[in-house]
Amino acid sequence: MSPAVVHQDVSDTYDIVIVGAGPVGLMLSTCLSRWGYRIKHIDNRPEPTATGRADGIQPRSLDLLRNMGLKSDIMAHKPARVYEVAFWDSESSKGIGRTGTWASCPNFIDARYPFTTLLHQGHIERVFINDLEKNGTSIQRPWTITGFQTRNPETSEYPVQVELEHVNGTEKQTVQAKYLFGGEGARSFIRQQLNIGFHHKDPIAHVWGVMDGVVKTDFPDIKMKCTIRSQHGSIMVIPREDNMVRLYIQIASSTDADWNPRKSATEAEVQASAKKILYPYNIEWERVEWYSVYPIGQGISERYTLDERVFLGGDACHTHSPKAGQGMNTAFLDALNLAWKIHAVESGFANRNILKTYESERKAVAESLLDFDNRYAKLFSQRPPAASEVQAASETIPDGDMDGDNDFIKTFKESCEFTSGYGVAYQANTLNWSPSHPAQSHVVQPSGTTLKSGRLLVNADVTRVVDANVVHLEQEVPLNGSFRIFLFAGDLVKNRVALRDFADNLTSAKSFYTAYTRPDITQVSHHEKHNPHSHFFTLCTIFAAKRHRIEIARDVPSVLARYRDHIYADDRWDRRVLDSVAPAHAKMGFNEEKGGVVVVRPDGYVGLVTSLVEGSGTVDALNAYFSAFCTKKFGNTAQL
Amino acid sequence: MSPAVVHQDVSDTYDIVIVGAGPVGLMLSTCLSRWGYRIKHIDNRPEPTATGRADGIQPRSLDLLRNMGLKSDIMAHKPARVYEVAFWDSESSKGIGRTGTWASCPNFIDARYPFTTLLHQGHIERVFINDLEKNGTSIQRPWTITGFQTRNPETSEYPVQVELEHVNGTEKQTVQAKYLFGGEGARSFIRQQLNIGFHHKDPIAHVWGVMDGVVKTDFPDIKMKCTIRSQHGSIMVIPREDNMVRLYIQIASSTDADWNPRKSATEAEVQASAKKILYPYNIEWERVEWYSVYPIGQGISERYTLDERVFLGGDACHTHSPKAGQGMNTAFLDALNLAWKIHAVESGFANRNILKTYESERKAVAESLLDFDNRYAKLFSQRPPAASEVQAASETIPDGDMDGDNDFIKTFKESCEFTSGYGVAYQANTLNWSPSHPAQSHVVQPSGTTLKSGRLLVNADVTRVVDANVVHLEQEVPLNGSFRIFLFAGDLVKNRVALRDFADNLTSAKSFYTAYTRPDITQVSHHEKHNPHSHFFTLCTIFAAKRHRIEIARDVPSVLARYRDHIYADDRWDRRVLDSVAPAHAKMGFNEEKGGVVVVRPDGYVGLVTSLVEGSGTVDALNAYFSAFCTKKFGNTAQL
Ligand SMILES: Cc1cc2nc3c(=O)[nH]c(=O)nc-3n(C[C@H](O)[C@H](O)[C@H](O)COP(=O)(O)OP(=O)(O)OC[C@H]3O[C@@H](n4cnc5c(N)ncnc54)[C@H](O)[C@@H]3O)c2cc1C
Ligand SMILES: Cc1cc2nc3c(=O)[nH]c(=O)nc-3n(C[C@H](O)[C@H](O)[C@H](O)COP(=O)(O)OP(=O)(O)OC[C@H]3O[C@@H](n4cnc5c(N)ncnc54)[C@H](O)[C@@H]3O)c2cc1C
């Protein structure tokens, strides 16, 4: 044993120590537990969130929860659903009046669930905690972190040492881990220890009172999300499960003459203020479940990690104004992004340097969210939108050309994309192809495709061939750490050679696919649906044909046919492409005869799009794409 | 106390004794428990069904389960879904080949869930049992019934005496009840005691082996429902949850030369036979979960009740060939039909004689199901359908005119309606209006409407006004024993007077609505959504207008406005009525300006359709309709 290797006690070693069991910590823990990692997960509160805090699940987050099989557990709580937002303004002394309403996720966004799901954060946390327990991870409470240190990351298997302590100081524990994750919220101890700066972004600071309860009111939009401005102040209304409603009531703003960021207000003061603002409507509280003053404004951390061993995520990295409803959703997507990358590295699939893309991808998203929030607030403070603008913004199905839109409409459309969660676009890097990516080939990013690297796969209905079930294609591969390769196979007959060539090259000794064959491949059950050959890939084949015309044994090369539950007929009708006979192909912008190939990252974002050609071109391009970040090199790269 | 009144010990009195905890008993018990009835429920088996038995939930039954809030519990088991049926036939010595496939619930049927849900009966039973327990009813097991007697039904509150006994004979109990229900399956003790005959219907008798298990096979349609005929015999394949499959293998038929209705077969014999039938495909069993020989053929009971105190339902009244997949579904609908009628009578709303409609409605349905099954089997035994016929049968959206169809296509369409559960049509009686119904008025059954008394309400999407949620209108009132009155209010402005007149007449002292005002109306919570005024009615108002144009305080008379969660905008796009701006109105066949009114029974079947007119005409017609079966008389009937 070389002297540089640190001695470790196996019983105290973990793949990861996760500090904080809020949304970010729970999502990370849930993914990694499902994939078999050994986790030490602590939180310094004795119980999960009982009341209050975040509560809005964006459409994109609901897709994600569904992909994890957790959506029905969320929906079992009968959450409120926000489809539209109403704007109210003060109309002279007569009190407030409605100035307009619009869809929170308008038609131009192609969402499966075009609404925000409102449910108390505690219920959401418990859905994750139940899942964790099924996978053998439990959260150690109330414990805190008191110190940590990374030593010899090049040579040590468990380079991170973490000091933990019961909050009452009676017990201490030192553990060794491969990673440490700080999901401890805005006042992150780990961030402070790392000396990472945190920058406040919002030029206007606010103090908000947040009150959850049951009210009796004649205000007609109490079950809608509302933004109310009156000369007595501002309120935001958020409907909730079980007849509850959340009101955000502005207590102070840095634009006030007597601005004081520590200004507070009692429950009764805030209720009195709400009554004034809502005039001419009445409001009485039957029950207040939770009341808190919430002064946290917008801000962002300088770094998300210094060494790709100790990571931060969620509120530890970025905080949002409560009105933006971004906190929990951004936390989920941080964790998702990190989880699969850690898995890819630790399972020997990807190079360690993909971990650098966690910060570059997620920090850019947080920056643009915060920037956008400011622009949006500014625009709205100038004037309320005209009805015609709202109409224009809501109805259009975008044709890629938004030039005709004015600033207001553009900003509104962007706001819808952000608040629905579909606005996230990861920039070019080794995972997201761009012209500067090492994979250079004329088959990449074929003209016509609507798919973009770094963006989510477009939704589409298809018919599964083996059982004729109508399914949501983008949901067919569960979140299990695998890359999803979608072969839009086009015409059953005309593309036969291209399909065979794809299969032949895929199974060649030098392919990315062959390189990561499961070591236990001979023992895999014939019931295995997603990973019969490799833990890292699932192959889906979609023909532009009616289901009954597809005969798997005749039409599908055996490597693809083995994924028999992932062979589909593109024969479902879609309102967005009324004239197409192969709507899924059409939505992706693929020719119905020629098809195309999409490589989707385990988190659902497109990595690479190629055409499907005869010869080795398509697999060559995939080999080059995976060579850029995998632990092995594939194909004959000179050939490209 | 008059001497004719039987003395009863209160602790042993029940509203109903239910014998048998199969689908029919459980559905009845669940409804009545939810509505507050005191139930003695016994079953002679120590446990719910562990394996085997029925497993296919029809589309219509799934609607019902959703209306009860039980669908998500069913779906949590990840059942298989059958969208299509494949037909295989023997092609000479080369073995079987596919002759065609078609949708099990084709487009011409407007179903929310156009598939059959396949799940083991035990899981389904447990969903009901869990719900029962929440409502304080538990099933006493293993207990049996040994006798019963009805005495003084006119004077006694609890006229039915029932003798119960533990199956091992150690304990006995005598209880007094208002009703006794026999849901004990095909060999019903109660039916036999009542001396009610049972007639076998099927001219061809069969013995089937039923095998549930996990197989390994290259038969491509193993995840589809299949009907396979070969010279070696017949098989039906039914996919199931958890990679399981059910095979029905014909063991004997009365058309065999050596026909013996007691013929049996071992598991191994049936497997050997399956292998021969499936040739050239292979099949091996990895696990057999359940195997049984199922000789029960089709039959029907002469009566469902003799005195409207002791009732029979489910298999006790009618048995179906297993291939028809009707047993459990028909059982559910029997129980639903009886449950709300008992509730209507016992809560003082309806006259006791509506209980006679249980037998008349449900027996006619069972008869037509059985007749149809025979016709269908006969047609198919003549020749397999041509592809063009299948196509014609599957794709058409019917325009009420099926004259162009040949016999085959007609029968096929009917079969789809029956197997989906939407074929049920109750005949005219006091509950289902017809020209011979006492309610005579020119406003009844207006020309143009597609709705028919005795048929289910047509599905439609609408937008709920208070929260902008997109909802399924037909599901908006839960199964709670209330009649559902849907006011399609047409044009917001042009119909203002008609709407006001409707509201005024509804609240007049002589109306059906006022007659059944809740005694506790002053204490009703403002959160009450469905029954703020009366336990027997929920009012829904649907405007042919965009949501944002509707202002409840301005546009909706207060009696209707009180049902604020039941006010809708008919502004959702529907594929079936592409050109309509008010698709729900259009689907019901109502004029988009003039609207119309639909009275829907608590079980979801249409009772009465009227136009919406200025003056008292519409409410007069409703008064006359309810006068026909309610305990009070309404309006000025001379006026009609
Ligand atoms: C009081 C409050 C009110 C909020 N209100 C809103 C709102 O109205 N709307 C909105 O969108 N967002 C709100 N948020 C923010 C929203 O809840 C967060 O954006 C979201 O929870 C982020 O998730 P997270 O996992 O990053 O952090 P958190 O949910 O904050 O989770 C951090 C967890 O780490 C634990 N922890 C902290 N330090 C330690 C330590 N040293 N050792 C162990 N455990 C530790 C905490 O107890 C907590 O359980 C609120 C947050 C707070 C604290
Ligand atoms: C062995 C078997 C196999 C079947 N296979 C199929 C199939 O493959 N496909 C299909 O569609 N249908 C099948 N059926 C029929 C299907 O299960 C029924 O149509 C359906 O269950 C009808 O529901 P039910 O509630 O009317 O009767 P059942 O489900 O039969 O329930 C009757 C209940 O009453 C109990 N009981 C009977 N007598 C007494 C008594 N004296 N005292 C107390 N309790 C009593 C029974 O134990 C049982 O729990 C099968 C039935 C049986 C018995």
As to burial, measured by CB atoms within 10 angstroms (0-12 exposed, 13-18 middle, 19+ buried), residue A439 is buried
> Same domain, yes or no, for A280 and A171?
no
Q: Which amino acid is present at B155?
A: T
B297 lines ligand 2 (CB under 6 A): no
pLDDT one-digit tens code per residue, A487-532: 999 999 999 999 999 999 999 999 999 999 999 999 999 999 999 9
How far apart, in whole angstroms, are the C-alpha atoms of residue A430 and residue A435? 11
> Same domain, yes or no, for B402 and B503?
no
Average pLDDT over chain A, rounded to whole?
A: 91
- For A508-519, letters b (16+ CB in 10 Å) and e give eeebbbbbbeee
Task: Provide the pLDDT for residue A64.
Answer: 98
How far, in Å, from the CA of B290 to the mean position of ligand 2?
A: 15
Whether residue A146 is predicted with pLDDT greater than 70 in this model: the reply is yes
Q: State whether A220 and B101 contact (CB < 8 Å).
A: no
> Same domain, yes or no, for B309 and B279?
no
Angle in degrees, CA A109, A113, A116, rounded to 5:
95
Nearest residue of A to residue B116, measured between CA atoms? A469
Q: Which ligand is nearest to the CA of B298?
A: 2
Q: Are B227 and B85 in contact (CB under 8 A)?
A: yes
Task: Provide the pLDDT for residue A391.
Answer: 67
> Same domain, yes or no, for B110 and B209?
yes
Q: Are A303 and A188 in contact (CB under 8 A)?
A: no
How far apart, in whole angstroms, are the C-alpha atoms of residue A432 and residue A430? 6
Q: Are B34 and B135 in contact (CB under 8 A)?
A: yes
DSSP β-bridge partners for residue A597: A487, A610
The boundaries of the domain holding residue A215 are: 80-118+203-296+385-416
Q: Are A24 and A335 in contact (CB under 8 A)?
A: yes
Task: Provide the pLDDT for residue A213.
Answer: 96
Last residue of a domain, one of B260, B279, B296: B296
Q: Which amino acid is present at B638?
A: A
At B190, which CATH number? 3.50.50.60
Chain B residues touching A552 at Cβ < 8 A = 220
| Mean pLDDT calculated for residue range B376-392 | 67
CA–CA min distance B222, chain A (Å):
8
List CB contacts of B101: < 8 A, sequence separation 6 or more. A468, A547, A548, B84, B85, B86, B87, B224
> Same domain, yes or no, for B415 and B496?
no
pLDDT one-digit tens code per residue, A580-636: 999 999 999 999 999 999 999 999 999 999 999 999 999 999 999 999 999 999 986
**Could you tell me the pLDDT band of residue A295, with boundaries at 50, 70 and 90?**
confident
Task: Provide the pLDDT for residue A459.
Answer: 96
> Same domain, yes or no, for A173 and A280?
no
> Same domain, yes or no, for A306 and A193?
yes
B334 lines ligand 2 (CB under 6 A): no
Alpha-carbon dihedral B248, B253, B258, B263, rounded to 10 degrees: 50
How far apart, in whole angstroms, are the C-alpha atoms of residue B370 and residue A579? 43
The answer to whether position A432 is within a domain reads no
B527 touching chain A per CB within 8 A:
yes
At A481, which CATH number? 3.40.30.20
ipTM for the complex? 0.92
**Could you tell me the pLDDT band of residue B383, with boundaries at 50, 70 and 90?**
low
Number of domains in chain B: 4
pLDDT one-digit tens code per residue, B496-505: 999 999 999 9
pLDDT one-digit tens code per residue, B328-372: 999 999 999 999 999 999 999 999 999 999 999 999 999 998 888
The answer to whether position B1 is within a domain reads no
As to burial, measured by CB atoms within 10 angstroms (0-12 exposed, 13-18 middle, 19+ buried), residue A154 is exposed
B239 touching chain A per CB within 8 A:
yes
Which of A341, A283, A286, A268 shows the shortest CA–CA distance to A309? A341
Radius of gyration from C-alpha coordinates of chain A: 26
Task: Provide the pLDDT for residue A382.
Answer: 63
Would you list the DSSP string of B451-472? --TTSBPPP-EEEETTT--EEE
- Beta carbon pairs, A and B, within 8 Å: 74
> Same domain, yes or no, for B609 and B548?
yes
HSE value, Cβ hemisphere, 13 Å, CA-based, for B2: 7
CA distance readout (Å), A38 to A16, A132, A347, B526:
7, 12, 13, 51
From the centroid of its chain, how far is CA B528?
Answer: 27
The answer to whether position A331 is within a domain reads yes
A468 touching chain B per CB within 8 A:
yes
Backbone angles phi, psi at B180, to 5 degrees: -125, 135
Whether residue B552 is predicted with pLDDT greater than 60 in this model: the reply is yes
> Same domain, yes or no, for B166 and B254?
no
> Same domain, yes or no, for A552 and A599?
yes
Q: How far apart are the first and last CA of chain B?
A: 44
Would you list the DSSP string of A440-486? --TTBS-TT----TTSBPPP-EEEETTT--EEEGGGSS-SSS-EEEE
Pocket test for ligand 2, best of B51, B53, B125, B245 (most atoms within 8 A of CB): B53
Task: Provide the pLDDT for residue B381.
Answer: 64
pLDDT one-digit tens code per residue, B17-30: 999 999 999 999 99
DSSP β-bridge partners for residue B140: B42
CA–CA min distance A367, chain B (Å):
32
Average pLDDT over chain B, rounded to whole?
A: 91
CB within 6 Å of ligand 1 — which residues?
Answer: A 19-25, 42-45, 52-54, 121, 144-145, 183-185, 189, 210, 292, 294, 314-315, 322, 325, 327-328, 331
Q: How far apart are the first and last CA of chain A?
A: 44
How far apart, in whole angstroms, are the C-alpha atoms of residue A444 and residue A412? 33
Q: Which amino acid is present at A107?
A: N
How far apart, in whole angstroms, are the C-alpha atoms of residue A251 and residue A8? 53
Q: State whether B220 and A551 contact (CB < 8 Å).
A: yes
The answer to whether position B447 is within a domain reads no
Beta strands in A172-239 (DSSP E): 172-182, 198-200, 206-217, 225-230, 233-239
Task: Provide the pLDDT for residue B638.
Answer: 39
Last residue of a domain, one of A320, A341, A357: A357
Q: Which of B468, B526, B547 shows the shortest C-beta gap to A216?
A: B526
Chain B residues touching A239 at Cβ < 8 A = 467
Three-class secondary structure assignment of A565-593: HHEEECCCCCHHHCCCCCHHHHHHCCECC
How far, in Å, from the CA of B380 to the mean position of ligand 2?
A: 28
Chain B residues touching A467 at Cβ < 8 A = 80-83, 223-224, 239
The answer to whether position A233 is within a domain reads yes
How far apart, in whole angstroms, are the C-alpha atoms of residue A97 and residue B554? 14
Residue in the structure block whose two tokens are 């009618």: B318
Pocket test for ligand 2, best of B184, B270, B321 (most atoms within 8 A of CB): B184
As to burial, measured by CB atoms within 10 angstroms (0-12 exposed, 13-18 middle, 19+ buried), residue A23 is buried
CA–CA min distance B85, chain A (Å):
9
Q: Which of A83, A216, A220 shows the shortest C-beta gap to B469?
A: A83
Nearest residue of B to residue A525, measured between CA atoms? B216
**Could you tell me the pLDDT band of residue B639, with boundaries at 50, 70 and 90?**
very low
Would you list the DSSP string of A23-65? HHHHHHHHHHHHTT--EEEE-SSSSS--S-S--EE-HHHHHHH
HSE value, Cβ hemisphere, 13 Å, CA-based, for A206: 21
Q: Which atom of ligand 1 is nearest to the CA of A48?
A: 49
Per-residue DSSP letter, B518:
-
For the ranges A610-614, B11-15, B315-319, the lowest mean pLDDT is seen at: B11-15
Q: State whether A467 and B553 contact (CB < 8 Å).
A: no
The answer to whether position B455 is within a domain reads no
Q: Which of B223, B547, B575 shows the shortest C-beta gap to A467?
A: B223
DSSP β-bridge partners for residue B174: B163
Task: Provide the pLDDT for residue B393.
Answer: 64
DSSP β-bridge partners for residue A571: none
The answer to whether position B439 is within a domain reads no
How far apart, in whole angstroms, are the C-alpha atoms of residue A477 and residue A487? 13
Radius of gyration from C-alpha coordinates of chain B: 26
CA distance readout (Å), B438 to B371, B601, B634:
31, 17, 13
- B-contacting residues of A 145-184, CB under 8 Å? none
The answer to whether position B146 is within a domain reads yes
Interface probe with B: pick from A390, A469, A529, most Cβ of B within 10 Å: A469
- Tokens for B638? 């001379």
**Could you tell me the pLDDT band of residue A7, with boundaries at 50, 70 and 90?**
very low
Task: Provide the pLDDT for residue A91.
Answer: 72
Interface probe with A: pick from B87, B467, B471, B578, most Cβ of A within 10 Å: B467
At B263, which CATH number? 3.30.9.10
How far apart, in whole angstroms, are the C-alpha atoms of residue A59 and residue A72? 14
> Same domain, yes or no, for B126 and B101?
no
Nearest CA to ligand 2 atom 42: B144
> Same domain, yes or no, for B260 and B386?
no
Whether residue A485 is predicted with pLDDT greater than 50 in this model: the reply is yes
Task: Provide the pLDDT for residue B627.
Answer: 97
Last residue of a domain, one of B296, B320, B348: B296
Q: Which atom of ligand 2 is nearest to the CA of B326?
A: 11
Alpha-carbon dihedral A163, A164, A165, A167, rounded to 10 degrees: 130
CA–CA min distance B468, chain A (Å):
6
Q: Are B322 and B248 in contact (CB under 8 A)?
A: yes
Task: Provide the pLDDT for residue A397.
Answer: 45
How far, in Å, from the CA of B24 to the mean position of ligand 2?
A: 9
Chain B residues touching A549 at Cβ < 8 A = none
Pairing of strands A470-472, B537-543: unpaired
Residue in the structure block whose two tokens are 């295995």: A528
